Structure 1
């Protein structure tokens, strides 16, 4: 009988992690269309829906990561 509360607590601890997983992560098909709704900056009410294939989303993510890495690695020249 004491195992039931422990089991319930363990399930409650795991449930939020499972709920946060993006739905399109398990997608193996690069041609699957994925739509995402993004908030418009500067507006509390407006939103923008963007649809691309899984491959296009991955390419965009990779390009953004490369840009961030390049900017963070930039070291200005010190001199006269």
Structure 2
């Protein structure tokens, strides 16, 4: 059986996800390296966010993330925040 890596095993994973989503119409925080680091990264990228506790977001939004980072990480993602970003 292939070794199934956890998101926390890849220090650059959350950075890659944030870079990929930076210009998307929504913003996602994933619990990969911990909420504190996610907060720090979002401040570094000058992105605003709002906390949302809806588990349905895991299925409606994280599916698109899993296409980018691979299905091995999909079940390790926990959507913590989403914000619609206006164009411009």
- When the two structures are superposed, what TM-score results if normalisation uses the length of structure 2? 0.23
Rg (Cα) greater in structure: 1
Bigger RCO of structures 1 and 2 (CA < 8 A, at least 6 apart): 2
Higher strand share: 1
